[in-house]
Structure 1
């Protein structure tokens, strides 16, 4: 069960899917499917984020990735997504851009 309002979840998903599409794909390629051709964050709650992606054959899949620990504050969502992004960069050998 999520601890975040529908408005917060909607805002985070809109931001991730409009401003961080490449990050979504990087996360999916690192932790689910290296041949993914597209990815979008589709849900989140206090324990995980979920991405939908298309594999190399155009088949849609979902992957849920746990946060480091359960979260309850909006600012923690960003921290957990940035952490996933940084781990994905490390795993794939991609240089992570700095986050302020």
Structure 2
């Protein structure tokens, strides 16, 4: 059964990703939105199975893109960061981009 995070966790993670990691959102959407010409993206949600992004495409339309957590299902808020970092790293690998170091 999919774990659902509380409103506080959702607000905190989404606020951080959309406020501080807009470029990472675009990379993830480009890498996991195969076939979409992504020009912008925001993270719109997540649960224990993965994250979702709303991508703006080059033609002005939008598409929802889902990506499963690389490490498998999660249930704890600290695991979200680990899995988003893993998605970012995988996105860079798929796109042939050198990932920045993680603190």
Q: Normalised by the shorter chain, which TM-score bucket?
A: over 0.9
TM-score by length of 2: 0.91
Which one of the candidate residues 75, 93, 96 is aligned to 1:90? 93
Per-residue CA distance 1:21-46 (angstroms, 9 max, x = gap): 00000011111055211100000001
Partner of 1:4: 5
Does the Cα contact within 8 Å between 1:4 and 1:45 map onto a contact in 2?
A: yes
TM-fit CA distance, 1:2: 3.8
Partner of 2:81: 78
Does the Cα contact within 8 Å between 2:32 and 2:66 map onto a contact in 1?
A: no
The ranges of structure 1 where at least 4 consecutive aligned residues each deviate by more than 4 angstroms after the TM superposition are: none
Which one of the candidate residues 35, 38, 43 is aligned to 2:37? 35
Report the number of matched residues. 100
**Cα RMSD (Å) of the superposition?**
1.2
TM-score by length of 1: 0.94
| Structure 1: unaligned runs, 5 residues or longer | none
